[in-house]
Amino acid sequence: MSNRLNLSVTRTNLLRLREELEFAQEGYELLEQKREVLVMEVVALIEELRVWKKEAEESLKKAYRAFEEAILVLGVETVTRASLAIRSAEKIKLVERSIMGVAIPRVSYSRTLCPSHHQYGFQGTSASLDKAVYLFSQSLERLAKLAEIEVSLFRLATELKKTQRRANSLNYLFIPEYRETIKYLENTLEEKEREEFFQLKRAKELHQ
Cα 153 to Cα 39: distance, rounded to the nearest angstrom: 11
Which is more confident, 84 or 108? 108
pLDDT at position 205: 67
pLDDT at position 81: 76
pLDDT at position 119: 54
Domain count for the chain = 1
205 found inside a domain:
no
Q: Is 16 helix (H, G, I), strand (E, B) or coil?
A: helix
Domain that holds residue 188: 15-200
179 found inside a domain:
yes
pTM score, whole prediction? 0.77
* pLDDT beyond 80 at 82: no
* pLDDT beyond 90 at 110: no
Enumerate residues 6+ apart whose C-beta is below 8 A from 30.
none
150 found inside a domain:
yes
* pLDDT beyond 70 at 2: no
58 found inside a domain:
yes
175 found inside a domain:
yes
Cα 78 to Cα 203: distance, rounded to the nearest angstrom: 113
Cα 179 to Cα 3: distance, rounded to the nearest angstrom: 10
Q: Beta-carbon neighbour count of residue 34 at 10 Å?
A: 19
Give the model's confidence band at 78: pLDDT under 50 very low, under 70 low, under 90 confident, else very high.
Answer: confident
pLDDT at position 116: 47
Output the domain CATH number for residue 163. 1.10.287.3240
